[in-house]
Amino acid sequence: MTVASPAPTKLTPAQRKAIVAGAIGNTVEWVDWAIYTTFASIFSRQFFPSGDSTASLLSTLAVFAVGFLMRPIGGAILGAYGDRHGRKKGLTLTISLMAGASFAIAICPGYETIGIAAPIVLVLARLVQGFSAGGEFGTSSAFLVESAARGRRAFAGSWQQVSVGGGVLIASALGTVLTSTLDEAALQSWGWRIAFLLGGLLGLVGLWLRVSVPETEAFAKVRSSGRTRANPLVSMVRDHPRAALRVAGVTIAGTLLYYIWVSYMPTYAHVTTGIPLNQALLANTIAVLVFLILLPFGGLLSDLVGRKPTMLAFAVGFLVLAWPAFQFLDGGFGSLLAIELAGMVFLVGYSANCAVIMAEQFPAEVRTTGIGLPYALAVAIFGGTAPYVTTWLSSSGHGDKVWLYVAAAALVGVAVYATMPETRGKELT
């Protein structure tokens, strides 16, 4: 059956306000999440015995990993909460949890003051942040897509990824400012706490924005018609198993390639080619800024030509790029920047589409759960392990095979995107 193409529709002022509030709130959420890794090397000795700085840092990063594992649990529980009680309540809960955990880390006394209680507080706070981050993607994606007209859904959904990247960049900028203006002693003793306090305060701003917007029309219809489910998780698994598997399949290539290009490429290039880390990070920063600028245009293109063509362009592009990208890394700034930019352009095809494609797979009564849980599982399994796998390949003498890992992920994407149904003109129910 051919799905009718949606007529271009301008966003109403109310829809624009909802998208802005959703995007800014999501940015703040990810500022809080990213501050931890930005300042991990600075505050690690505050929460663990300070005799061995390396052991302290590794312990702090292990806590980060534990928080990462909480994301699927958050996707399931907070997704179900959003499907039972509404997107607005779900979003206010996730940002409250994230901001509250930031405040807890900021004011927690160190190991030398309260002993083992300090790392316990850190672990609990990071578990809460991981739980919150897991629920944020599904709830914010559903909110943004449901807040848009049918002909502008991908454009609205693209702001979910713009806001994630924006949050990471703000956290990085905050780290740059504090490390540039404070000496090491001040950073170690109290400077890092400023970052977490600011993150918590920004969370209160995001909470105010989310409280100020109305519930989405799609959920309001579900509630008024009595279609809410007592257990959305069970309903999603029982009634929409293929859609859940499709969300996971859509995510595999996207999250793996995103983590390699956005998060790991500077470190990989530095270790394997010897390019100075500051140059590698500069190339990455420039490429990420270009990526964020292009994302809304990628959403508009998806609304014009469809989800499948733009997703296939992403996967096929990486299939072609995989070998030359790793062959032509030569330690030069220009070559790394060109490779980063090429990858970021292709990534737009995935990142501009992921929220809208996932939202279009499910009816409103299970939408946040259907997005949140399969996505979080795929991210934890494939995205979270991508840096480890590429590092293992390089350290084991198989660095010349990393491109095969990238190509294999792209090939999985081609298979999934070529066989999925086109949903551009689908009515959200």
- Percent of the chain predicted with pLDDT > 90: 50
Work out the pLDDT band at 3, boundaries 50, 70, 90. Answer: very low
pLDDT at 374 over 90: yes
**When comparing pLDDT for 260 and 347, which is higher?**
347
Nearest to 32 by CA among 118, 131, 110, 117: 131
CA distances (Å), origin 21, targets 88, 121, 184, 403? 11, 31, 37, 39
Look up tokens 């504090």; give the residue.
178
Give the burial string for 29-54 (b: 16+ CB within 10 Å, else e): bbbbbbbbbbbbebbbbbbbeeeeee
- Cα–Cα distance measured from residue 287 to residue 66, given in angstroms and rounded to the nearest whole number: 29
- Cα–Cα distance measured from residue 320 to residue 322, given in angstroms and rounded to the nearest whole number: 6
Instruction: Supply the pLDDT for residue 251.
Output: 95
Alpha helices in 70-216 (DSSP H): 71-85, 87-107, 111-114, 117-146, 153-181, 184-186, 192-211
Look up tokens 């709830």; give the residue.
139
Instruction: Supply the pLDDT for residue 54.
Output: 59
pLDDT at 320 over 70: yes
- Percent of the chain predicted with pLDDT > 70: 93
Work out the pLDDT band at 65, boundaries 50, 70, 90. Answer: low
Say which amino acid occupies 327.
Answer: Q
Lowest mean pLDDT among 21-35, 216-230, 370-384, 387-401: 387-401
Instruction: Supply the pLDDT for residue 58.
Output: 60
Look up tokens 């850190």; give the residue.
122
Instruction: Supply the pLDDT for residue 6.
Output: 52
Nearest to 106 by CA among 115, 92, 118: 118
- Cα–Cα distance measured from residue 340 to residue 263, given in angstroms and rounded to the nearest whole number: 11
230-424: CATH topology: Growth Hormone; Chain: A; (1.20.1250)
- Cα–Cα distance measured from residue 425 to residue 5, given in angstroms and rounded to the nearest whole number: 5
pLDDT at 355 over 70: yes
pTM, to two decimals = 0.86
Q: Which two tokens stand for residue 41?
A: 């090397």
Instruction: Supply the pLDDT for residue 267.
Output: 77
Look up tokens 């849980």; give the residue.
373
- Cα–Cα distance measured from residue 157 to residue 295, given in angstroms and rounded to the nearest whole number: 10
Work out the pLDDT band at 30, boundaries 50, 70, 90. Answer: confident
Say if CB 318 and CB 416 are below 8 A apart: no
Work out the pLDDT band at 7, boundaries 50, 70, 90. Answer: low
- Cα–Cα distance measured from residue 120 to residue 117, given in angstroms and rounded to the nearest whole number: 5
pLDDT at 38 over 80: no
Work out the pLDDT band at 48, boundaries 50, 70, 90. Answer: confident
Instruction: Supply the pLDDT for residue 94.
Output: 93
Instruction: Supply the pLDDT for residue 425.
Output: 86
Over residues 196-202, mean pLDDT: 92
CATH of 14-219, one of 3.30.1540.10, 1.20.1250.20, 3.40.50.150, 1.10.1270.20: 1.20.1250.20
Q: Which two tokens stand for residue 290?
A: 């270009």
Nearest to 314 by CA among 279, 271, 277, 345: 345
Question: What residue ranges do the domains of the chain occupy?
Answer: 14-219, 230-424
pLDDT at 22 over 80: yes
Over residues 117-126, mean pLDDT: 88
Lowest mean pLDDT among 181-195, 245-259, 379-393: 379-393
Instruction: Give whichever of 62-66, 217-221, 238-242 has the largest mean pLDDT.
Output: 238-242
Residue 330 main-chain phi, psi, to 5 deg: -125, 10
pLDDT at 225 over 80: yes
Task: Report pLDDT digits (tens) over 79-102.
Answer: 999 999 999 999 999 999 999 999
3-state SS class at 188: helix
**Same CATH topology for 14-219 and 230-424?**
yes
Instruction: Supply the pLDDT for residue 407.
Output: 95
Lowest mean pLDDT among 116-125, 154-163, 390-399: 390-399
Mean pLDDT of the chain: 87
Say if CB 250 and CB 417 are below 8 A apart: yes
Instruction: Supply the pLDDT for residue 1.
Output: 40
Lowest mean pLDDT among 5-14, 70-79, 172-181, 186-195: 5-14
Instruction: Give whichever of 169-173, 290-294, 401-405 has the largest mean pLDDT.
Output: 290-294
Work out the pLDDT band at 2, boundaries 50, 70, 90. Answer: very low
Lowest mean pLDDT among 21-35, 210-224, 296-310: 21-35
Lowest mean pLDDT among 34-43, 149-158, 323-332: 34-43
